[in-house]
Amino acid sequence: MDAPTKNLSRYVKEKGINLSKMSRDTKIPYVSLYDSLLNADRDRDLRAGELFLVCEFLGVNPMDFAAKDAG
């Protein structure tokens, strides 16, 4: 998994973000969000457009997730 997806996944888990609402508001299919952000059995990176839509939904800067160590 790439660093931005991994970091965003950690953020979503820590904040308890509702993926159903995120899916409805961003028009990104729920399964795509789930597989990228919460499904430990999948290794699906968010697409660039998805990353920007999710960050807009969350009200955060995408660069905040790109620069962090995915550890």
pLDDT (tens digit per residue) in 55-64? 999 999 999 9
Task: Note whether 7 and 21 are within 8 A (CB).
Answer: no
* pLDDT tens-digit readout, 26-61: 999 999 999 999 998 998 999 999 999 999 999 999
pTM of the model: 0.88
pLDDT at 43: 87
Surface-to-core class of residue 54, CB atoms within 10 Å of its CB (0-12 exposed, 13-18 middle, 19+ buried): buried
pLDDT at 6: 94
pLDDT at 67: 67
- Give residue 66's pLDDT band: very low, low, confident or very high (50, 70, 90): confident
